Amino acid sequence: MVCLNLPPHLRYKLENVYLVGVIPGPREPSLDQVNHLLQPLVDDLLCLWVNGIRLNRTYKFSGGRIVRVALGPLVCDLPAARKTAGFAGHSADLFCSFCRLSRKDISNLVKASWPERSSDQHLHDAKRWKNAKNEGERQKMAMRRGTRWSELLRLTYWDPLKFTVLDAMHNLFLGEFQHHCRVVWG
């Protein structure tokens, strides 16, 4: 994590970066494992957002001040973004993290006709998924609605539709964008 209030030339210096954790391999973690790892971070972020933390003094406030902390964008590859933000995988009927285009309409290339996802509906569906009676029911709901529970959804200010970003390495440097334009779009 980095402090977005710092100027860009300071933001990514090693002394200003907070490593939240490392997910051990060699395999991709399950959704339950991701949520288990996120829970303590979200607990801390909730406290820091609601109550804030009092700093005894800062550069501009010698008498101190209360600061609040919020999680900004989630930047990761697509599979990690889906798990971490509460979206189902690409095999779900509602496969996209940004719209509600159904798998049966996948050949529809008129973007203006794609129904948009809403954060409220995403949260509603995620809560229903979380409260499902068993894993089989959860699986059916995820496949049908394209949504699963994420611990990040406990952060009332955090919007998975606006705050989830596909990282530049996968999008540009590894050629995913070029592949998408040339192969997927033709």
pTM of the model: 0.82
How many CB atoms neighbour CB 43 within 10 A?
Answer: 12
Q: For residue 2, tell me if it sits in a domain.
A: no
Work out whether the CA dihedral 117, 185, 169, 38 comes out positive or negative: positive
Q: For residue 173, tell me if it sits in a domain.
A: yes
Q: Phi first, then psi: give them for residue 13, nearest 5 degrees.
A: -70, 145
Per-residue confidence (pLDDT) for residue 94, from 0 to 100? 92
How many CB atoms neighbour CB 21 within 10 A?
Answer: 9
Q: For residue 1, tell me if it sits in a domain.
A: no
Q: What is the domain extent for residue 136?
A: 8-185
Give the chain's domain count.
1
Q: For residue 64, tell me if it sits in a domain.
A: yes
Q: Enumerate residue ranges in the chain where pLDDT < 70.
A: 167-181, 183-186
Per-residue confidence (pLDDT) for residue 23, from 0 to 100? 78
Per-residue confidence (pLDDT) for residue 179, from 0 to 100? 64
Question: How far is residue 37 from each of residues 6, 46, 77, 130, measured CA to CA in Å?
Answer: 27, 15, 18, 17
Per-residue confidence (pLDDT) for residue 171, from 0 to 100? 62
Per-residue confidence (pLDDT) for residue 175, from 0 to 100? 61
Per-residue confidence (pLDDT) for residue 186, from 0 to 100? 59
Q: For residue 162, tell me if it sits in a domain.
A: yes
Q: For residue 3, tell me if it sits in a domain.
A: no
Q: For residue 99, tell me if it sits in a domain.
A: yes
